[in-house]
Chains A and B, each alone.
Chain A
């Protein structure tokens, strides 16, 4: 039996003891053990061990032991060992992403608010200028009217005098 086959057989035996083998794999293992006395002996030991384990009473694992067992490092897979997946780094990464995302959202919100306020200021300025323009028009109209009146009065006076002076001889003649 090669080293590889031995390693494979040991894994199969472990799985057999744990009861994790499929029926087909179990049959294949038993057939192989029947042909190879060494493997057969090992399998016999494994079966005895399995039966002995099965016969053990179940005990509640103390909480302290359970905690200690949970603290034992698990075998690291490719992703499980990745630094980003370690709790403290994962938390830090999440925090950084949250801050960046939050900053982006905040800036967008600020820009929208500022644009709205600029538009409001524009509207307010136009409103003030509209009132100023209204006053301008009103005052211009008043000034124009006053100037017209001021100009018209002397013209009317002169015209009236002229007409009166021209009409005077005719009145004398009529008298």
Chain B
């Protein structure tokens, strides 16, 4: 069993990143995250985790924590790009508006829209016939522009709990 697990892992890790991205692109919850490299430089944070790896993470957590394993197992992909805006909001806001238009055209539902002077938040959800297929979050403020796309089912109420269970220190200002 351990050998099989190793072989599967080896096969997965040997998959090129482009193959994993192509696999994600075919899913209905996929959103082409904004490319603002030309404006803000390389993203401060960029994560792209495909479904197979998430399934393995789920399997690895199953024995210790079934609840976390179930939550991770429902995910098909997790992607994020975070750019430092340095107070230059316009390019990021333009990109948010552009993405919002394409999401609405693709029948994504706006869940939350916050239009404050110092921060804009857009949360969209894509629902299929039976379940949630994706969640897209865009946040722009004077510090950063966050573009987040989760493919699969996620319950926002569980996020904090799962983070605690993952027990990983992350450098994100949650204040």
Among listed B26-34, B97-105, B115-123, B125-133, interface-contacting one: B115-123
Residue in A110, A131, A132, A133 whose CB lies within 8 Å of B6: A110
- Does A127 reach chain B (CB closer than 8 Å)? yes
- 20 A-B pairs besides A110-B6, A118-B53, A132-B159 with CB distance below 8 A are A110-B10, A114-B6, A118-B56, A122-B166, A123-B168, A124-B47, A124-B78, A125-B47, A125-B72, A125-B78, A128-B47, A129-B163, A131-B82, A131-B137, A131-B172, A132-B154, A132-B156, A138-B119, A139-B121, A142-B114
Asked if B13 contacts A133 (CB within 8 A), the reply is no
- Does B22 reach chain A (CB closer than 8 Å)? no
Asked if B13 contacts A114 (CB within 8 A), the reply is yes
Name B's A-contacting residues (CB within 8 A): 6, 9-10, 13, 45, 47, 49, 53-54, 56-57, 60, 72, 78-80, 82, 112, 114, 116, 119, 121, 123, 137, 139, 146, 148, 150, 154, 156, 159-160, 162-163, 166, 168, 170, 172-174
Tell me whether A138 and B121 are in contact in the complex, defined as CB-CB below 8 angstroms, given that A124-B49, A125-B57 are known contacts. yes
Asked if B172 contacts A130 (CB within 8 A), the reply is yes
Residue in B57, B116, B119 whose CB lies within 8 Å of A121: B57
- Does A135 reach chain B (CB closer than 8 Å)? yes
Query: Which chain A positions have C-beta within 8 A of B116?
Result: 142
Tell me whether A131 and B121 are in contact in the complex, defined as CB-CB below 8 angstroms, given that A113-B13, A126-B166 are known contacts. no
Contacts between the two chains (Cβ within 8 Å), count: 102
Kindly list the 8 A-B residue pairs having the minimum CB-CB distance in the complex, ordered from nearest.
A126-B168, A130-B172, A124-B47, A130-B170, A114-B9, A126-B166, A127-B170, A128-B80
Query: Which chain A positions have C-beta within 8 A of B159?
Result: 129, 132-133, 136
Asked if A135 contacts B172 (CB within 8 A), the reply is no
- Does A159 reach chain B (CB closer than 8 Å)? no
Among A128, A136, A143, the one with the most B-chain Cβ atoms within 10 Å of its Cβ is A128
Query: Which chain B positions have C-beta within 8 A of A136?
Result: 156, 159-160
- In the complex, the chain A residue whose C-beta lies closest to that of B162 is A129
- In the complex, the chain B residue whose C-beta lies closest to that of A137 is B174
Asked if B166 contacts A129 (CB within 8 A), the reply is yes
Q: Give complex CA distance A133, B158 in Å.
A: 9
- Does A107 reach chain B (CB closer than 8 Å)? yes
Asked if A133 contacts B163 (CB within 8 A), the reply is yes
Min CB distance A121 to B, Å, is 5
A-B pairs with beta carbons under 8 Å apart, 30 shown:
A110-B9, A114-B6, A114-B10, A114-B13, A118-B53, A121-B54, A122-B168, A125-B47, A125-B54, A126-B163, A126-B166, A127-B80, A128-B79, A128-B80, A128-B150, A129-B166, A130-B170, A131-B45, A131-B137, A131-B172, A132-B154, A132-B156, A134-B172, A134-B173, A135-B139, A135-B148, A136-B156, A136-B159, A138-B121, A139-B123
